[in-house]
Amino acid sequence: MKNKPILIVAGEPKSIFFEILFKTLKSNRFKSPLILIASVKIIKSQMKKYNFKKNIKLIDAKNLSSYKITNKTINLINVIYDLKNKSNNTAAKSNLYIKNCFNIAFRILKSGFSNKFLNGPIDKSKFLNKKHLGITEYVSKQFKTKKNAMLIYNSDLSVCPITTHLPLKLVSKKINHKIIKEKTILINDFFVNSIGFKPKIAVAGLNPHCESILKFNEDNKILTPVIKNLKKMGYNIYGPFPADTIFLKQNRKLYDVILGMYHDQVLSPLKALKEYDAINITLGLPFYRVSPDHGPNKKMINKNLSNPTSLTRAIKFLDQR
């Protein structure tokens, strides 16, 4: 197949995913066939709710090569989710459904039929049960990928946190030369191989103004030496810079990626600047994995007011690969 299909796991049974998917499909055309992995009952219910009309083509995950897959229909691998049965634990039922969807996608990716994967929003606090920090780590473990990175990508400016969904009090213990090198190499390789140029990377310091009242200053003892070492290795990396000023307009325009020490240090300012115009990419996997850069947003369900930009950008990104 010239354009390998994009596998899409719908994610949480109760979320804004289908609303934003329908909005995306109404206003965009894609070269790569889309294969949705979800419950046929859920999607039919959502199509009726949002007055979205398109034929559904049920396909067998074990025999994909026998189908002519195009975007004239919704290509659906049906995963059972009982909408009417309320006797079981709702969270457990949802978790099993999501896990089954992921497992089907993983088998297809391992077969080589596709190298493009997108998952809809997941309620991490319920699905992961503290076994993984986030979906980045969950997916990576299934493919025995030990070196990964979470890149929040926008063509103007991207960010990457050294630590992901980690409590703040634990962050400093995880900052070391090895992990900074690993993330930098993954970022550089991604931009060179998938975007087509060598990125300029700015590193945000851990401490306010890169200063500390303690004897041990991570910015001086860890960040500065590793940045110097990476420069000698040929990477375009600079810093450390105070996190409170690196996102100023005159500063951020000098770089392609800002590498931060923890999740909210870089995600909060990027979301304030770009809002929904960014996508979550997992680096280090043997395939492309992206997701919209937001959660299920259950408060917005059925309001038909959700912004589809991040999902649209995510599918367009995969469509160009």
- Provide the CATH topology of domain 1-145+285-321: Isopropylmalate Dehydrogenase (3.40.718)
For residue 19, pLDDT over 60 is answered with yes
At 291 the pLDDT is 98
At 85 the pLDDT is 59
In 64-148, which ranges are E strands?
Answer: 74-78, 116-119
At 125 the pLDDT is 81
- Per-residue pLDDT, averaged over 116-136, amounts to 88
What is the rounded distance in angstroms from the CA atom of residue 119 to the CA atom of residue 105? 10
> 159-163, 211-215, 221-225 — which is least confidently predicted?
211-215
Q: What is the CATH code for 148-284?
A: 3.40.718.10
The edge-to-edge listing of strands for the beta sheet with 56-58 is 56-58, 74-78, 34-38, 6-9, 116-119, 288-292, 279-283, 149-153, 158-161, 257-260, 201-204, 237-241
pTM here? 0.95
Q: Can you read off the two tokens belonging to residue 124?
A: 């991490």
Share of the chain above pLDDT 90, in %: 88
- Report pLDDT digits (tens) over 57-69: 999 999 999 999 9
Neighbours of 57 (CB within 10 A): 15
- Report pLDDT digits (tens) over 181-218: 999 999 999 999 999 999 999 999 999 999 888 888 99
Task: Give the 3-state secondary structure of residue 283.
Answer: strand
What is the rounded distance in angstroms from the CA atom of residue 67 to the CA atom of residue 44? 22
Which alpha helices (H) appear in 28-89, and where do they start and end?
40-49
For residue 253, pLDDT over 60 is answered with yes
Q: Locate the domains of the chain by residue range.
A: 1-145+285-321, 148-284
Q: What confidence tier does 256 reach under pLDDT thresholds 50, 70, 90?
A: very high
At 188 the pLDDT is 98
For residue 87, pLDDT over 70 is answered with no
At 154 the pLDDT is 98
At 169 the pLDDT is 95
- Report pLDDT digits (tens) over 96-122: 999 999 999 999 999 999 999 999 999
For residue 1, pLDDT over 60 is answered with no
- Report pLDDT digits (tens) over 42-56: 999 999 999 999 999
